[in-house]
Structure 1
Amino acid sequence: MPRALTAALLTLAAAPASAESLDKVSFGTNWVAEAEHGGFFQAVADGTYKKYGLDVTIVPGGPNTNNRILEIAGKIDFFMAANTLMSFDAVANNVPVVTVAAMFQKDPEVLLAHPETKATKLEDLKPLTLFVSKEGMTSYFQWLKSEYGFSDKNVRPYTFNPQPFIANPKSAMQGYVSSEPFAVEKAAGFKPTIFLLADYGFNDYSTLIETRRDMVDKKPDLVQRFVDASIIGWYHYIYGDNSAGNALIKKLNPEMTDALLANSVAKMKQYGIVDSGDSLKNGIGAMSDERVTSFFGKMVKAGVVRPNLDYRKSYTLRFVNKGVGLDLRPKN
């Protein structure tokens, strides 16, 4: 796309671009459509991507879909990586991708406990039976062991079914703050006690926008527009009228109910998942060298990553921290 046309599109953001002028872009998520992807769907549904000169197709993920492989193969342009550890792993395995924005300032990973345990801090969960997934055992649980002294002996496999947790009042279960607490409350009739790992020092980024290095090198203007429009989409989804985004999510995933979507958005706002910390000053999507370095040190200590990993290759700050969309945050 000519630079003059790009500049016009960005300057006249209120006027939708013509179909002929749009750059076709594909974005693969890492799971089925849900509120945790809401800002991206919102930017499609309300025309934000079009205002930035983009014709964006979202390719939902799922249990039998590997969109990252499609990204690496050049079949899709951008991918929604789960967290910073995934970015570190790409460097370790010489995968030519780079993180260009972090939509979640906080990882939504939580541990849930029964109210009758009277647990008030993370350490109170150590004596309990802990339901942890295979992925959790190789990531955050290693940190729990190194930082808080948790033990493997209490761990049982978590199969993304809350029933074993519900049946055992002396247990804790992993989950996402925006979904599992709601599911447990609906199924069991009690509100679980929530421990957000990010608030205890597990300071990775989550819901990352990732692309191939050749995209950054050859099409930086397109990458910038996709990042900026996605940021605007998240402001609209979290703080504005998100009905268009939710309608698209429900169309792609009929299991998403209005109640579940509303709960997820409320929890993301309550816990500062999308907008907190650095994003309050630099805008949604913000990242910092200091934050990534801090998390890398914790993962080295926990034995999750090698100390000689060139972790700075996993991300770039070139496209974030520009204050995009700050005017969309409610003033009160």
Structure 2
Amino acid sequence: MMRRVLKRAAMIALAAAFTLHLRPAAAADTKITFVTDWKAEAEHGGFYEALALGLYKKAGLDVTIRQGGPGIDNMQLLAAGAVDFAIGSNSFGPLNLVQAGAHVVAVMAASQKDPQCLMTHPRPDIKSLADIKGKPVMIAAGSADTFFLWLKAKYGYSDSQIRPYTFNMAPFLVNKNAIQQGYISSEPYLVEQQGGFKPQVFLFADAGYPSYASLVMVSQTMIDAHPDVVQKFVDASIQGWYDYLHADPSPADKLIEKDDPDESDGVIAYAIKTMKAEGMIEGGDAAKLGIGAMTDARWKTFFDVMSKEGVYPANLDYKAGYTLRFVDKGLALAASH
């Protein structure tokens, strides 16, 4: 899900609201503010689980999770030093910040698959993403600069297809010809519940979309000054994700529903089931390297695809946007295999 860019005055006001900056909350605890990329949802479940079970606390971290939402640009908040950690929705985030000269780094990829998809009503003329070329597609404002670039490059989509999506599904539900973006782990369930039909769902990751999702991002300054804090946060988050998927997710779910009452038990249960079935958290490289895995090869693939299409200059130092220092250690791997 995408966010609009904040105006300077609004961002300053938001930054003031996020109290943080490595202040000792108790004798041995380091205070951390972590802002997500959207309203609280099961796709953030592992982080909420780590908070609910006291895994961050056990690591000496006093973590506050702040949910994102429309109009909150958490990448700008992180780049401005207004928060300590943030979730980057996809692989565009780190490279965009490199291009902008911001020293912000991805240290973990909670999701090996980006859950972004396109949905249609059941219809005989569309059986693949390729079939959507030339047809109107409802996407959020920021999506034109992220996954839609890949769709243009791979399938020949054009900007003339774009129609506005404002996170209200009513236009999709009532129009049998409508095509809309969504998360495979949530919107299809909502369509079935509210529309009474099962949509056709086309997951970008299954068609080769190389983006990671739910990237944990932090400033290079934090990494240089407090690498131990970064490692503790990553390790506790990884354990939180393992527990969320394999143990009792209800501690996290209670916190999620407290932050976002619209995230119902049914939506959460569907999301957890989908994340497991699709191998979103523990599939791909994570199956061998552990939850949170990232690889140089995967980042190179993403950069090569996007630079070839002119999204990034060929000489961009894309490796400055991530580090493998804190992941690929097989944490919680033995227990899940």
Which TM-score applies when normalising by structure 2?
0.88
Partner of 1:182: 189
1:228 equivalent to 2:196? Answer no
Which of 116, 126, 133 is the matching residue for 2:133? 126
Shift of 1:118: 5.7
Amino acid at match of 2:61: L
Q: Which residue of 2 aligns with 1:5?
A: none
Structure 1 match to 2:30: 23
DSSP 3-state at the match of 1:117: coil
1:95 counterpart = 2:126: no
Amino acid at match of 1:82: S
Aligned twin of 2:114: 107
Paired residues for 1:105-254 under 5 Å: 105-117=112-124, 119-254=126-261
Q: 1:145 to 1:216 in 2, by over 3 A?
A: same
Report how many aligned residue pairs link the two structures: 313
What is the Cα deviation at residue 173 of structure 1?
Answer: 1.0
SS of the counterpart of 1:254?
coil
Aligned identity (percent) is: 46
**Paired residues of 1:97 and 1:212 also in contact (CA < 8 A):** yes
Aligned to 1:42: 49
What is the alpha-carbon distance in structure 2 between the residues aligned to residue 147 and residue 170 of structure 1? 23
Match of 1:11 in 2: none
| CA distance in 2: counterparts of 1:87 and 1:235, whole angstroms | 25
In the alignment, what sits opposite 1:9? none
Contact 1:97 1:213 in 2 (8 A): yes
2:91 to 70, 84, 88: 84
Comparing 110-119 and 286-295, the one that deviates more: 110-119
Over 3 Å counting, the alpha-carbon distance change for 1:127 and 1:66 in structure 2 is closer
**1:53 Cα deviation after fit:** 2.1
After superposition, give the CA deviation of every residue in 1:101-121 in whole Å (9 maximum; x if it has no partner): 111101110011111236332
Q: Secondary structure at the match of 2:78?
A: helix
Q: Is the 8 A contact 2:94 2:321 kept in 1?
A: yes
Report if aligned partners of 1:128, 1:154 keep a CA contact under 8 Å in 2. yes
Residue 264 of structure 1 corresponds to 271
Partner Cα distance (1:96, 1:129) in 2: 37
Kindly tell me: are residues 135 and 290 of structure 1, through their superposed partners in 2, closer, same or farther at Cα, counting changes over 3 Å? Answer: same
Please list every run of 5 or more consecutive structure 2 residues that lacks an aligned counterpart in the other structure: 1-24
Structure 2 CA distance for aligned equivalents of residues 169 and 195 of structure 1: 16
Which residue of structure 1 lines up, in the alignment, with residue 281 of structure 2? 274
Cα distance change, pair 169–127 in 1 and its aligned pair in 2 (3 A)? farther
* Contact kept in structure 2, 1:139 and 1:304, CA below 8 Å: no
Shift of 1:46: 0.8
**Following TM superposition, by how much is the alpha carbon of 1:229 offset from its aligned partner in structure 2, in angstroms?**
0.5
* In structure 1, C-alpha distance between the alignment counterparts of 2:71 and 2:304, rounded to whole Å: 33
| Cα distance in 1 for residues equivalent to 2:26 and 2:193 | 45
Between the aligned partners of 2:240 and 2:335, the Cα distance in structure 1 is 10
How far did 1:128 drift? 3.3
CA distance in 1: counterparts of 2:238 and 2:36, whole angstroms: 16
Deviation per CA, 1:264-293: give whole Å up to 9, x if none.
Answer: 111111222212110000001100011001
